[in-house]
Amino acid sequence: MRRAPLTRERVLAAALELADAGGLESLSMRKVATALGVEAMSLYNHVANKEDLVDGLVDLVFAEIDLPVPGAPDWKGEMRRRAVSVREVLNRHRWAVGLMESRMRPGPANLRSHNAVMGCLREAGFAFRAAVHASSLLDAYIYGFALQEASLPFDTAQDHAEVVEAKQAAVPDLTPFPYLVEVFTEMARAGYDYATEFAFGLDLILGALERAQTK
């Protein structure tokens, strides 16, 4: 059985699968190689090093984001759709949350994404600095929310209620923290819906940005 020739794309695809399954810390050159039926050193013919491999992975993640359309009539709708897409994408690739904004060598999908966001805001009438404000604020919220959401341990597929319960179990005595008692009991009782929570903050921010723009 002849095996397919190694390419950068095949290396990245295998690495993405590993990272999605076990997180960044379970991603090693040696494991990627094993997954491809090859020795670790062979990978260096297709990626410069691990940093370069991660750069490639992050751009694959950027490529999954649904882009806003510059010039579309409803800028809030465009920014909203894109924000929801970023959250979904980062839920599929939780290991990527902390890496999206830190690439020193942004890939084409990364550039395309930032260009589309700025373009959509500028064409909607935002002045340059106002567009920077809006884009920076929205990204901070989206990435920060994804960070909260992604912070479950990697090997488990627990839901939020279970995680809250496990955290509470690790606390020896809650009596000095009365307001947290309320949080723990309410969360256990009524649960917590990330999608709803995300939409609340997103619409609050979009509304405030609109008011600030037209004011």
- What secondary structure letter does DSSP report for 99? G
Q: Which of residues 131-160 bind a second copy (CB under 8 A)?
A: 132-133, 136-137, 139-145, 147-148, 150-153
Q: Is 165 in the site for a second copy (CB under 8 A)?
A: no
Residues 35 and 166: their CA atoms lie apart, in Å, by 34
Which pair of structure tokens corresponds to residue 175?
Answer: 């009596």
4 binds, among DNA, a second copy, none (CB under 5 to 8 A by kind): none
Q: Select from 93, 102, 16 the least CA-distant residue to 56.
A: 16
31 binds, among DNA, a second copy, none (CB under 5 to 8 A by kind): DNA
Task: Report the residue number, 6 or 130, with the smaller CB distance to a second copy.
Answer: 130
Instruction: Say which residues have a Cβ less than 8 Å from residue 114's Cβ, sequence separation at least 6.
Output: 106, 135
CB of 38 to a second copy, least distance (A): 26
Residue found under tokens 């923290």: 177
Instruction: Say which residues have a Cβ less than 8 Å from residue 23's Cβ, sequence separation at least 6.
Output: 94, 95, 154
Chain centroid to CA 89: how far? 6
Which pair of structure tokens corresponds to residue 7?
Answer: 């390419």
CB of 69 to a second copy, least distance (A): 13
Q: Is 41 in the site for DNA (CB under 7 A)?
A: yes
Q: Is 180 in the site for a second copy (CB under 8 A)?
A: yes
| Cβ atoms 29, 50 nearer than 8 A | yes
From the list 8, 13, 23, 42, which residue makes contact with DNA (rule: CB under 7 A)?
42
101 binds, among DNA, a second copy, none (CB under 5 to 8 A by kind): a second copy
Site residues, DNA (CB under 7 A): 5-6, 27-31, 38-42, 44-46, 49-51
